[in-house]
A and B are shown apart, each in its own frame.
Chain A
Amino acid sequence: MARITLDRLAHAYRSDPKGPQDYALKEVHHVWDQGGAYALLGPSGCGKTTLLNIISGLVRPTRGRILFDDRDVTDLPTEARNIAQVFQFPVVYDTMTVRENLAFPLKNRGVPREAAGRRVEEVAHMLDLTRVLDRKARNLTADMKQKISLGRGLVRPDVAAILFDEPLTVIDPHLKWQLRSTLKELHRSLDLTMIYVTHDQTEALTFADKVVVMHDGAVVQTGTPDELFARPAHTFVGHFIGSPGMNVLPCRVEGRTAYVEGEPISLALAYPSLPSAGRIELGIRPEFVSLQAKGQGLPVRVRRIDDIGRARIARVEMAGRPMAASVPENLAVDGDEASLVIDPRHVHIYADGHLVPGEAR
């Protein structure tokens, strides 16, 4: 059992990193608590797999340390860490039966045959693999194989954390949901730390208690799904999480009013500490912007209205800037002229992409 601490980690695949652009993973300082369910969320190439491989020991970081509890494991090889990993494409040992696959890590570690056998039965029961224990592993479907990979991690009594590298990529959509709930159940019953890498926000938000959002090699925000939604710490998080993502508009702030292309938007807070230079932006989620008939708020031009099932989203232009807004159920829009009403409590101000805390002065 372990708490995993990433102590000022950074990694560059080049051997002679010069500037920050050479780093696939910029300095990260983070603590994964024992027993937490975490998701590492970010687009392809943001460094999340690199971070995962550093934790499992497949990659040695250029700088920084990894601690399991208080033990420095930076230089320990993968097999000496109490970590298991499930990969994007299911890895099973083709020639072996499911039972032999599950017993493999124990056999390699010299666990007596009988104890190993019992443990395999237990884990197979947990993962609902008992029926297929004596079948060849390669004859099974992708989701079964993924369970076997997971099972090879679970059989080891020493495993403190299980890492998942986009484990549902090759799984059929209707089985994805099942496998994900299996994972959640296991997490609840086993007191294991789980770190789940994905670029799919739905997977991350439904699986994890805490989501770590990465962008361009750096962690931009760590928080619960609610926090990520309500207070994105970076415009990237605003964009990336939510569908559609947050509206981000360049603006000028004066007192409790922000001006977007000259249109005033009132704010709930004041921002006296805004830097004078740099990019100032206003962020507001479409959920808190409602479309109204012409003349009731900021004038906009409606481009189109998308019905996304549980809601309607209007694509509008405000002073030439594209925005998304929610359409109230009873509103009928005729013509392309309408107006927007923005809830000031949910407006955030960003300086150079980072959230600026407001003051209620």
Chain B
Amino acid sequence: MDRPLNNRAWLLVLPVFGIVAFSAILPLMTVVNYSVQDTFGNNQFFWNGVGWFQELLDPSKELGGRFFDSLWRNLLFSAIILSIQVPLGIVVALSMPREGWTVALCLVLMALPLLIPWNVVGTIWQVFARGDIGLLGWTVNSLGIDYNYVSDPLDAWITIIVMDVWHWTSLVALLCYAGLKSIPDAYYQAARIDGASRWAVFRTIQLPKMRRVLLIAVLLRFMDSFMIYTEPFVLTGGGPGNATTFLSIDLVKLALGQFDLGKAAAMSLVYNLIILALCWVFYTVMTNVDAEKKEVEA
């Protein structure tokens, strides 16, 4: 079929180009500009070429060292978060009621943590976990366990992880619940007739049917935890020492604390590229799953 070609249609796209240019491309170019220069203040800049990038990607340099430290720290954090929240979310979704008035109650309760602003979550847990006046911190301490998230790195990690699990597991659970709800009753009935055990029902029906939503949940939770800033910033400020300094916290320290604009710009570009690359991987995996589905229908 021949479609009339009309190049004037491109004019309709111009406003979007304009908006994207001002909101994304120009700021990004500013960052690129900073990343190849050095400054000693006074709005004076000197050409530095790829110097910052070389320093950043070389772990033996001071800049590279702290960058890779934060990167590993952040990857470890994301891995722990995923390995707790995904199984926990599935379990929660499986144990939620499927009908009746309790469904609405459960959904509201589950959605509550998701509705709280992130810095408020940080503040809540900052107070909650304090040893002197916080309910959690005080209780743990009175049980005879030495717990202080301000001075002990392990305690700080545990607190942040528990906080994130509290904040975000509902998201995974709600997504899984939606996936479970979409399974027709006939599947469960067929499984009963086939004599399938509870575990077999989970393995052969529920898990495969949740695959799509689980991929989305993993993607969302990974990106979110990889870019986490507000809650640990409020709770620990990246401390004690650098124990909970994740990538974005480190970036802000570098850019606004030390005012090393060139280094910070180089770091944010590399950070951005890592996120883009990971997004691409997830996107490819997900579209492959879709393609398989298409083949099914064909």
Contacts and interface: CB of A to CB of B under 8 A. Distances in A.
Interface in B195-233: 195-197, 200, 204-205, 208-209
A87 B191 CA distance: 12
Interface string B178-197: 00000010110110111111
Contact of A93 (B192, B193, B195, B205): B205
A79 B205 CA distance: 17
A92 B194 CA distance: 11
A95 to B, nearest CB: 5
Contact of B189 (A85, A93, A104): A85
A79 B208 CA distance: 23
Contacts of A84: 193
Contact of B195 (A88, A89, A109): A109
Contacts of B196: 104, 108
A272 interface: no
A89 B184 contact: yes
A26 to B, nearest CB: 24
B116 interface: no
B246 to A, nearest CB: 37
B134 to A, nearest CB: 46
Contacts of A5: none
B204 A96 contact: yes
B296 interface: yes
Instruction: Tell me the interface secondary structure of chain A in the complex.
Output: mixed
Q: Which of B189, B200, B295 has the most CB of A within 10 A?
A: B189
Nearest to B184: A89
A184 B173 CA distance: 46
A105 B189 contact: no
Contacts of B204: 93, 95-96, 104
A91 B295 contact: no
Nearest to A165: B186
Q: Which of B190, B204, B296 has the most CB of A within 10 A?
A: B190
B168 to A, nearest CB: 28
A56 B193 CA distance: 8
A48 interface: no
Contacts of B197: 108
A108 B189 CA distance: 15
Contacts of A58: 189, 192
Contacts of B192: 58, 77-79
A91 B187 contact: yes
A136 B208 CA distance: 13
Interface string A81-120: 0011101110101111000000011001100000000000
A103 to B, nearest CB: 10
Given A139-B295, A139-B296, A94 B209 contact: yes
Contacts of A89: 184, 186
Interface string A36-59: 000000000000000001001010
A108 B195 contact: yes
A138 interface: yes
B190 to A, nearest CB: 4
A84 B200 CA distance: 18
A94 B186 contact: no
B66 to A, nearest CB: 45
Contacts of A79: 192-195
A308 to B, nearest CB: 36
B183 to A, nearest CB: 10
A88 B186 CA distance: 8
A56 B208 CA distance: 26
Contacts of B194: 79, 104-105, 108, 152
Interface string B232-261: 000000000000000000000000000000
Nearest to A137: B296
A53 B185 CA distance: 12
Contacts of B189: 53, 56, 58, 78, 85, 87
Nearest to A100: B204
A326 interface: no
Given A89-B184, A89-B186, A95-B208, A78 B296 contact: no
A221 interface: no
Given A89-B186, A94-B209, A78 B193 contact: yes
A118 to B, nearest CB: 19
Given A139-B295, A139-B296, A91 B195 contact: no
A91 B208 contact: no
Nearest to A96: B204
Nearest to A91: B190
Contacts of A53: 189
Nearest to B189: A58
Nearest to B205: A93
Contacts of B205: 93
A152 B192 CA distance: 12
Contacts of B208: 93-95
B193 A108 contact: no
A193 interface: no
B268 to A, nearest CB: 42
A201 interface: no
B190 A108 contact: no
Interface string A276-304: 00000000000000000000000000000
Contacts of A94: 208-209
Nearest to A108: B195
Given A78-B189, A83-B193, A108-B200, 19 more contacts: A58-B189, A79-B193, A79-B194, A79-B195, A84-B193, A85-B190, A87-B186, A89-B186, A93-B204, A93-B205, A94-B209, A95-B204, A104-B194, A105-B193, A105-B195, A108-B195, A108-B196, A139-B295, A152-B190
30 contacts: A53-B189, A56-B193, A58-B189, A58-B192, A78-B192, A78-B193, A79-B192, A79-B195, A85-B189, A85-B193, A87-B186, A87-B190, A88-B186, A89-B184, A91-B184, A91-B187, A91-B190, A93-B204, A94-B208, A94-B209, A104-B194, A105-B193, A105-B195, A108-B195, A108-B196, A136-B296, A138-B296, A149-B190, A152-B190, A152-B194
